[in-house]
Amino acid sequence: MSTAQTAFLKGHGTENDFVILPDHDGLTELSPAAVVRLCDRRAGIGGDGVIRVVRSAAHPEARAMAGEAEWFMDYRNSDGSVAEMCGNGVRVFARYLQRAGLAGEGDLAVATRAGVRRVHIAKAGPDGRPGDITVAMGRAALPEGEVTVSVGERSWPARNVNMGNPHAVLFVDDLADAGDLYTAPAVAPASAYPDGANVEFVVDRGPRHVAMRVHERGSGETRSCGTGTCAVAVATARRDGLDPAVAGHPVTYTVDVPGGRLVITELPDGTVEMTGPAVIVAEGHLDASWLAAS
């Protein structure tokens, strides 16, 4: 990674936290080792992932989207692997652009590896706090076939949901049934998730209200997963016999995560919208020699 770009910020969305690297002109090479070093909670800054902020025109994976979205979210998991999408990350990405004066309240388009995501930044509240951010997360795909998730000697049927990245959603009696989610639960058949999966354990809290824990592929258990909450809302709606395309009206679920609460709405056209907070907590400069050592 180049030592010329050392500015960073730290932010989170419902406590899913990220190191943000502004690299507007795409001059920084972000190696997997550098990502791991940055996300180390004891010897680095600490985070569930790294968000690199790049102009779409300056990134080879995003140039085709530059006409729709000026900015590209280059997202990496904490193990250094590249991810297609991160729902909480998109909200934090948008909050960074707002803080930097590169976007204002209202509508915004963000390029991701899963395509362009439409974002709306709400007005600040009367107390001056920044407004929530809504992201149009695209349509959920529901691949056919039975999926099973296992923890120890116990197994549950799961729903395969793809939100631009893969999810296995299962319903349990108690969130403690998930066990230690820093270790990936076993998912079968492996062919259903050739690149691994995010796994969500879900319990009911009330009408249109659920809670979840998640193992994020490449990061372990996190305090929140934006695409995961969307996958959970869609899977729960289908379990409850609700399909907005059939009903002709939106279906909304509240999804509690360890780090807070998100509101997920599936529209009749299949688009899934996620609404929640995003917070920038710090900014500063990295020690160039420390980062170069990665």
- Which CATH number is 208's domain given? 3.10.310.10
Q: What is the pLDDT of residue 164?
A: 87
Report the C-alpha gap between 43 and 62 in whole angstroms.
Answer: 32
Helix, strand, coil percent content, the chain, rounded in steps of 5: 20, 40, 40
Domain membership flag for residue 90: yes
Do 145 and 190 form a contact (C-beta atoms < 8 A)? no
Query: For residue 185, what are the contacts with CB-CB under 8 A and spacing of at least 6?
Result: 149, 150, 151, 178, 179, 199, 215
Q: Which of 192, 225, 232, 255 is catalytic?
A: 225
Nearest to 208 by CA among 168, 265, 283, 293: 265
When divided into structural domains, the chain yields a total of: 2
Domain membership flag for residue 37: yes
Report the C-alpha gap between 264 and 274 in whole angstroms.
Answer: 5
Domain membership flag for residue 154: yes
Q: Determine whether the annotation assigns residue 70 to a binding site.
A: no
Q: What is the pLDDT of residue 206?
A: 96
Check whether residue 126 and residue 152 sit in a common domain: no
**Could you check whether the bond before residue 189 is cis, i.e. omega within 30 degrees of 0?**
yes
Helical spans, DSSP H, in the chain: 32-39, 87-99, 226-239, 244-247, 288-292
Indicate if 225 belongs to the active site.
Answer: yes
Listed as ranges, residues in the chain with pLDDT below 70 are 1-5
Check whether residue 155 and residue 269 sit in a common domain: yes
Q: What is the pLDDT of residue 228?
A: 96
Q: Determine whether the annotation assigns residue 223 to a binding site.
A: no
Do 227 and 137 form a contact (C-beta atoms < 8 A)? yes
Domain containing 231: what range? 147-275
List pLDDT tens digits, range 118-135.
999 999 988 888 999 999
Do 132 and 122 form a contact (C-beta atoms < 8 A)? yes
Q: Which of 1, 20, 30, 86 is catalytic?
A: 86
Report the C-alpha gap between 58 and 27 in whole angstroms.
Answer: 9
Q: Determine whether the annotation assigns residue 87 to a binding site.
A: yes
Do 85 and 114 form a contact (C-beta atoms < 8 A)? yes
Check whether residue 201 and residue 121 sit in a common domain: no
Report the C-alpha gap between 49 and 52 in whole angstroms.
Answer: 10
Check whether residue 191 and residue 216 sit in a common domain: yes
Indicate if 39 belongs to the active site.
Answer: no
Q: Determine whether the annotation assigns residue 162 to a binding site.
A: no
Q: What is the pLDDT of residue 148?
A: 98
Q: Determine whether the annotation assigns residue 11 to a binding site.
A: no
Q: What is the pLDDT of residue 187?
A: 97
Cα dist. 210→86, 100, 114, 159 in Å?
Answer: 20, 35, 26, 16
Check whether residue 271 and residue 286 sit in a common domain: no
Q: What is the pLDDT of residue 293?
A: 82
